[in-house]
């Protein structure tokens, strides 16, 4: 995919509308992980170096067209101001930011309140999105798409707005695409994919696509129980998608046909309910009717880690267990530690995986690349066309 590169454009004195991904976790008004804000800084600094002023459009959560105070971007404005060591203006209404945007001088920046407060941003009606994009286009002379975590959405600020102004991809989007293209087209082998998270249905398309490319597929998280059920196991009260069992059987059969090594756990940590209770270790054949699996077991964690250390390329998306519970973090920690020891390209696929490694005390620089877009990364690896990228080509 050939994107329009930001470096190619002269932007001195221009007002640039930058659409980053600033969708960070906030608890009690405090940002708990500013990784996505930091990821946006190289593009922002390049725009300053080019003599541009910047209007930022971004979202937080899913307010669905309502002004929810807990989803305000104001804490993001404060954190961004500290990170770039300059004032960040804040406009509370996307419909009335023209005056503030027009007053910007080169090197100044204005963040507009959560763009998803406006129902038209995410409307299923293209005419509503187009009308909103037309209004947003008045705030700048040039558009830069740099919110990789949102490029799989056909939203006004991601798709329609880019069609109304001269445009380019930001540095982050450019880098994300290069890394993911490497995984799809020229991975150094052995190439492993580690998939976790709650539901098989969320990952089945990417599993099928990557199954034709990988040497090793490792399954963890809540989705593993549908795999166990497909192999005839009983899984107690564990998360199970019965309607996916036959599809999973097809995956298992295809992996065998292709000679792909597919690892499932041999032991688990279980509890009687979804709480951070003291864990009980069981073999996968011993899950009780009133028990639910909350993490892979220690033997499985060791097997997974050993298998990964021998790989040259690894893509990981989704924790191995309920890492938010202190008693059920070991599987995710073991995979993360193994990735830090891989002599090759390691890609952490955004979302919960990125949050997990930081919550467990790992540093971003210990991994080859940390994607900012969980859903976008998966859809790209499925082979889908992403609207927010197509419009930047």
* Other Cβ atoms within 10 Å of 127 Cβ, number: 9
Rounded Cα distance between 279 and 15, Å, is 55
Catalytic: 375? yes
Active-site position among 147, 293, 350, 375:
375
Report residue 197 as tokens.
Answer: 């998270």
| Three-class SS of 151-194 | CCCCCHHHHHHHHHCCEEECHHHHHHHHHHHHHHHCCCCCEEEE
Cβ contact 151:378 at 8 Å? no
Helix (H) or strand (E) holding 91: strand 88-91
Coil/strand/helix, residue 203: coil
* b/e code 60-82 from CB counts within 10 Å (16+ = b): beebeeeeeeebbbbebbebbbe
Coil/strand/helix, residue 270: strand
**Tokens 């600020």, residue?**
157
Active-site position among 36, 116, 153, 203:
36
Rounded Cα distance between 193 and 129, Å, is 37
Catalytic: 351? yes
For 206, what's the count of Cα atoms within 13 Å in the CB-facing half-sphere?
A: 27
User: Burial level of 222, CB count in 10 A (0-12/13-18/19+)?
Assistant: buried
Phi/psi zone of residue 220: left (φ > 0), alpha (ψ -120 to 50 degrees), beta?
beta
Active-site position among 4, 68, 199, 261:
199
Report residue 316 as tokens.
Answer: 């990981």
Active-site position among 293, 351, 373, 374:
351
Q: 203-207 long-range contacts, Cβ below 8 Å, gap at least 24?
A: 203/317, 203/318, 203/378, 204/244, 204/247, 204/248, 204/251, 205/378, 205/382, 206/317, 206/378, 206/379, 206/381, 206/382, 207/251
Catalytic: 199? yes
Q: Starting at the edge strand that comes first in sequence, how are the strands of the sheet with 261-263 ordered?
A: 261-263, 216-219, 191-195, 313-317, 345-348, 369-370
| Residues with catalytic roles | 36, 199, 351, 375
């Amino acid at each position: 995919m050939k994107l329009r590169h930001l470096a190619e454009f002269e932007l001195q004195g221009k007002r640039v509308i930058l659409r980053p991904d600033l969708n960070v976790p906030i608890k009690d008004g405090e940002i708990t992980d500013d990784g996505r804000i930091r990821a946006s800084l190289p593009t922002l600094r390049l725009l300053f170096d080019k003599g541009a002023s910047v209007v930022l459009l971004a979202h937080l959560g899913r307010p669905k067209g309502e002004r929810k105070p807990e989803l305000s971007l104001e804490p993001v404005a404060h954190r961004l101001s500290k990170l770039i060591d300059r004032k960040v203006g804040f406009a509370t209404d996307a419909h009335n930011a023209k005056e503030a945007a027009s007053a910007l001088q080169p090197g100044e920046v204005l963040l507009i309140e959560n763009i998803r407060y406006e129902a038209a941003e995410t409307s299923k009606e293209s005419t509503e999105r187009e009308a909103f994009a037309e209004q947003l286009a008045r705030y700048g002379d040039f558009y830069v798409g740099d919110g990789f975590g949102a490029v799989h959405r056909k939203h006004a600020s991601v798709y329609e707005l880019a069609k109304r102004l001269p445009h380019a991809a930001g540095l982050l989007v450019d880098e994300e695409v290069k890394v993911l293209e490497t995984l799809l087209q020229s991975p150094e082998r052995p190439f492993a994919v580690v998939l976790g998270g709650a539901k098989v249905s969320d990952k089945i398309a990417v599993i099928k696509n990557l199954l034709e490319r990988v040497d090793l597929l490792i399954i963890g998280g809540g989705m593993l129980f549908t795999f166990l059920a497909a192999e005839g196991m009983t899984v107690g009260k564990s998360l199970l998608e019965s309607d996916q069992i036959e599809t999973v059987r097809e995956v298992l059969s295809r992996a065998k046909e292709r000679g792909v090594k597919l690892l499932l756990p041999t032991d688990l940590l279980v509890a009687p309910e979804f709480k951070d209770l003291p864990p009980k270790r069981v073999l996968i054949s011993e899950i009780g009717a009133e028990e639910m699996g909350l993490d892979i077991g220690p033997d499985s964690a060791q097997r997974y880690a050993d298998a990964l250390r021998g790989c040259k390329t690894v893509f990981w998306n989704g924790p191995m267990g309920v890492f938010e519970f202190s008693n059920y973090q070991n599987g995710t920690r073991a995979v993360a530690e193994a990735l830090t020891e891989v002599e090759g390209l390691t890609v952490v696929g955004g979302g919960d995986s990125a949050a997990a490694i930081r919550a467990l005390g790992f540093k971003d620089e210990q991994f080859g690349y940390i994607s900012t877009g969980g859903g976008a990364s998966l859809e790209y690896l499925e082979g889908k066309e992403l609207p927010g990228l197509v419009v930047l080509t």
